[in-house]
């Protein structure tokens, strides 16, 4: 599949609305680490929620369970979708080093219902966890939907049931259900030599005219308005609110809570759900900062706090766009 020219220069992918690649180099990384003022996180946080998985689902009903980080279980009538599955102890190329979880997944992989589709936003280790993906393949053999030039990574683990999408391309599940890859402001890298050689994206899941936006990882820009212009308003947005400090290093690629609220506004979201916080310490802000800063941003931008939720691991949220009156 030949990538579009507006975000691929023949060797590398890029964000077409920016004049330069957004990823920071090794000098920036070591500058951050050398001068890092990382807040102290708890070493372990116990889960208090029990997932309320439905025994049956009616048309128009959606159950979204926040498992951890960017892993969401989206359940609707006849379909189970899992986003950026991450069940490993660490987010790292090796099992013995790297950021370690302080909180267990809110739902164990073995306890998942049968997964029909897995969507993966990009190839960073906290979003593309090959151990989890291999286990899901052995359990359910779901369809994996990934951005361009990512399938080969999964192929190395024997995963072959894959569809690659470019930005604005759509996979149709049936005539009333589809998944579309849309732009995200981010970057890609798994090794020393593959920077931005694989595409990154957000996804829009359209189920019987209910639209769910899954951001993956993204910085803030005008691309949210472009997505709304081309795809219409979102009913549900799954938006990252963590891993945002220090801003000089993180801003281009990670929303802070205020920017997440602005994305909620730009996308015309009815209900937004925060993610990408509270499990792995990948940046400098404190454990409680994402939720606290989000509440402040909602107040400042005059958004009802019930329209942007921050579930803990294992919390299930119910949504019905067309509730029947009783």
pLDDT in tens, 151-205: 999 999 999 999 999 999 999 999 999 999 999 999 999 999 999 999 999 999 9
> For a pLDDT cut of 70, what percent of the chain falls above it?
92
Domains and CATH numbers, the chain: 61-320 (3.60.15.10)
At residue 326, the pLDDT reads 33
Where would I find the beta strands (DSSP E) of 1-153?
61-68, 71-76, 79-83, 117-119, 143-147
Containing H/E element for 229?
helix 223-231
Q: What is the pLDDT of residues 66-92, one digit of tens each?
A: 999 999 999 999 999 999 999 999 999
Could you give the residue ranges of the DSSP H alpha helices within 267-312?
Answer: 289-300
- Whether residue 1 is predicted with pLDDT greater than 70 in this model: the reply is no
**pTM value?**
0.94
In this predicted structure, what is the pLDDT of residue 95?
79
Alpha-carbon distances, residue 142 vs 113, 116, 236 (angstroms): 12, 5, 23
* pLDDT at residue 9 in the model: 92
Per-residue pLDDT tens digits for 193-249: 999 999 999 999 999 999 999 999 999 999 999 999 999 999 999 999 999 999 998
Task: Convert 174-191 to b/e letters by CB count within 10 Å (16 or more is b).
Answer: eeebebbbbbbbbbbbbe
What is the pLDDT at residue 325? 41
pLDDT digits (tens, 9 = 90+) for 96-128: 888 999 999 999 999 999 999 999 999 999 999
């Amino acid at each position: 599949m030949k990538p579009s020219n507006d975000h691929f220069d023949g060797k590398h992918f890029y964000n077409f609305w920016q004049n330069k690649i957004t990823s920071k180099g090794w000098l920036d990384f070591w500058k951050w680490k050398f001068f890092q003022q990382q807040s102290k996180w708890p070493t372990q946080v116990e889960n208090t929620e029990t997932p309320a998985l439905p025994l049956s689902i009616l048309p128009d009903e959606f159950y979204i369970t926040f498992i951890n980080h960017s892993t969401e279980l989206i359940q609707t009538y006849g379909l189970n979708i899992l986003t950026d599955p991450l069940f490993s102890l660490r987010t790292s190329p090796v099992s013995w080093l790297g950021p370690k979880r302080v909180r267990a997944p809110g739902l164990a992989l073995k306890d998942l219902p049968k997964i029909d589709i897995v969507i993966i936003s990009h190839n960073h280790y906290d979003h593309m966890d090959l151990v989890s993906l291999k286990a899901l393949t052995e359990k359910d053999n779901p369809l994996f939907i990934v951005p361009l030039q990512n399938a080969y990574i999964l192929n190395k683990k024997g995963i072959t049931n894959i569809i690659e999408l470019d930005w604005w391309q759509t996979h149709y599940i049936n005539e009333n259900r589809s998944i579309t890859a849309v732009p995200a402001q981010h970057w890609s890298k798994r090794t020393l030599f593959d920077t931005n050689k694989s595409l990154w994206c957000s996804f829009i899941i359209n189920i019987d005219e209910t639209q769910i936006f899954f951001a993956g990882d993204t910085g803030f820009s005008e691309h949210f308005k472009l997505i709304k212009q081309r795809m219409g308003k979102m009913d549900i947005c799954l938006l990252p609110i963590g891993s945002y400090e220090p801003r000089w290093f993180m801003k281009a690629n990670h929303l802070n809570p205020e920017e997440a609220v602005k994305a909620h506004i730009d996308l015309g979201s009815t209900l937004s759900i925060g993610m990408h916080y509270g499990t792995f310490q990948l940046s400098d802000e404190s454990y409680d900062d994402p939720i606290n800063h989000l509440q402040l941003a909602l107040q400042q931008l005059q958004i009802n706090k019930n329209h942007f939720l921050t579930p803990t691991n294992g919390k299930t949220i119910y949504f019905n766009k067309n509730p029947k009156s009783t």
